[in-house]
Structure 1
Amino acid sequence: ARDMLRMQLVEIGQAFGGRDHSTVIHSVDKVERQMMRDRTFKERIEMARQELSAL
């Protein structure tokens, strides 16, 4: 959401149930680390990004 929608971390947190911006940062970091470790996970994230960008 951050790079595709150009939203602020606070806005993303609000969209996900009022989460704090630090929770959003932690979640983004966690997904990025998982993408580096797990090729299948990375491919799924990339496919989701492509599908969302086509909307």
Structure 2
Amino acid sequence: MELDRVFNGNGLNGAAEHRNYKIVENKPVRYMVCLVDSKNDSTPERCSAWEDDVA
């Protein structure tokens, strides 16, 4: 299993972060989203539950 963490401190109206992954189609993927306090604080807070999906 591979894990990756992407931090975006750009705020609600800021630029999105993009990543390109080599994920095989029809394979399961799992992810969660967390909020942070501020642009300079990358400590995750108020995280969603894990989401299971298919690539």
The reply to whether TM is greater than 0.5 is: no
TM-score range, shorter chain: under 0.3
Greater strand share, structure number: 2
Which protein has greater RCO, CA pairs closer than 8 Å, 6+ apart?
2
Bigger CA radius of gyration: 2
Greater helix share, structure number: 1
